[in-house]
Structure 1
């Protein structure tokens, strides 16, 4: 996207250089601001235009990214319907192929993350259900002691009581 903004700015200021007799950045910016206001009724300050010029053309300052409306108006000034139209009509086959490829990669990344998220949720749900199913919440008397078991409705099973499970054992000497 940044490359396209750079290309747009270069094209705009080449056209300004051809149409205007102004030589200074300030003069070119005022000229472009007036043209845009007269032709399209869009207020674009000459200060912003100067910032675009010094950022994108001379590289003297940091680039300030224009908003979508500004990009559309500057594209309109060049004879395009919108910034998207500017990009579409100036794209080479390599650019189109690269854009389609990156779109496919982006969509693939999204699908991978979504499927990963779904799988994590399914695995957690499955582990939760399994742990609940196999939890040993009951106990049953086995010969001389109680043993933990999974509640299953057996006749002699009782609800798990940890104290009874640990302490209650049949004395081996007692017959």
Structure 2
């Protein structure tokens, strides 16, 4: 992406140098600012244009990455629909393949992450349901003692009481 911004800036400032009668950077920046506002209705300050020039052309200052709207306006100034159009029309066949592959890889990665998260949630919910459903939380009297069972709504089942389960047995001596 940085490479394309660099190429765009070079093209923009080459065109500005040819079209503008101004010789100073400040004058060219004002010209470009006015031209972009007139032609595209996009307000881009001459100070920002000056910063882009000093970052991308003379490398006097640190590069400041323009936002998407600014990139689109600058691409429009040199005759393209938008920044993506500028890239598409200037990339080599190999670069196009790499860009498309990268976009597809990014999409697949995002889908994989979403799929993984959804599967974890589903498996977690399933395990929770199974543990609750199969847990023996009730007891029922069988012959002479209580036995743990899974709650099923049987008439004679009661809620599990561990003390009663362990200690309450019918005495076989009587």
Smaller-chain TM-score bracket: 0.7 to 0.9
Q: For 1:129 and 1:38, how far apart are their aligned partners in 2?
A: 64
**Alignment-derived partner of residue 80 in structure 1:** 80
**Alignment-derived partner of residue 90 in structure 2:** 90
SS at match of 1:114: helix
Pairing 1:55–2:52 present: no
Query: How many residues are matched?
Result: 174
**Alignment-derived partner of residue 10 in structure 1:** 10
Unaligned runs of 5+ residues in structure 1 are: none
Shift of 1:89: 0.9
**Alignment-derived partner of residue 117 in structure 1:** 117
Shift of 1:141: 4.1
Shift of 1:25: 2.5
Q: 1:35 to 1:140 in 2, by over 3 A?
A: closer
Shift of 1:49: 0.7
Considering only aligned residues, what root-mean-square deviation do their CA atoms show, in Å?
A: 2.7
Unaligned runs of 5+ residues in structure 2 are: none
Q: TM-score, normalised by structure 1?
A: 0.80
Pairing 1:134–2:134 present: yes
SS at match of 1:148: strand
